[in-house]
Structure 1
Amino acid sequence: MMNAECTSAECILINLLLSGLLGLIGQGIRVIVGLKKLREEATAEASTSTADAKTAFDNHFDVRQLWLSLFIGFVAGCLANLGRPDGEFTKEVQLAIIAAGYAGTDFIEGVLTKVLPKK
């Protein structure tokens, strides 16, 4: 896909965009798992209270956190691109960047929690 002589701005931008999207996919997998867990918790909460499962889910779901999480996955993918050797995006490299989007988000969110002031 990309050759080893990727020095033009267009080529670098394409590499970053592709890596960011792969990181976003990794974070998307994590989001799906989190939403499934949240749904199960809402169902369990609804069974022990008078609220229905949808209301319980809506009370705990934060769309801003979802978008921030996906953006952080994109950034994690871009950062993972910096550590890859020049050359093509092999399947192994693509899976590594997806894994970085999945796992790297925890690392970035942890750093942000320590650096940014609490509300």
Structure 2
Amino acid sequence: MDALGWLAYLCLAFFVGACGQLVRVAVGLKKLHDKNASAGTKTPFDAKKFWISIVLGALAALLTAILQWSDQMQSIDREYIFTLMAAGYAGSDIIEGLMDRWSKST
């Protein structure tokens, strides 16, 4: 794969991971809104935490794409796209957990 192909591959992984994280954020905000609506309180929104979460999900998918890359891979199929999206969905939790663990130990 040439440099332009690698760049396209990594950009796709970054974008798909961010999409996976957006799904997670939407689900989380819906649950929080429903919980707060029943308690009669307003749902807070932290833009800084939102963007950090999106970037972490995208980076998780990017790392997954790098680790899963193979010379024999001829094309990117639907299953692989969903794998990257799932990495963005779940990977940010892993990265956030590791960051919290490391920041508490110092």
Give the unaligned 5+ runs of structure 1. 1-5, 47-52
The corresponding residue for 2:92 is 105
Q: Deviations over 1:45-82 (max 9, x none)?
A: 21xxxxxx5xx21xx32111111100101101100101
Which SS does the other structure have where 1:103 is aligned?
Answer: helix
**8 Å contact from structure 1 (residues 76, 100) kept in 2:** yes
The corresponding residue for 2:24 is 30
RMSD: 1.5
- Give the letter for the 1:70 counterpart: I
Give the unaligned 5+ runs of structure 2. none
* 1:75 equivalent in alignment to 2:62: no
Q: Deviations over 1:15-73 (max 9, x none)?
A: 11100111111111100101101111220221xxxxxx5xx21xx32111111100101
Aligned-pair identity in percent equals 32
Question: What TM-score comes out, normalization by structure 2 length?
Answer: 0.87
Runs (4+) off by over 3 Å = none
Which has more radius of gyration?
1
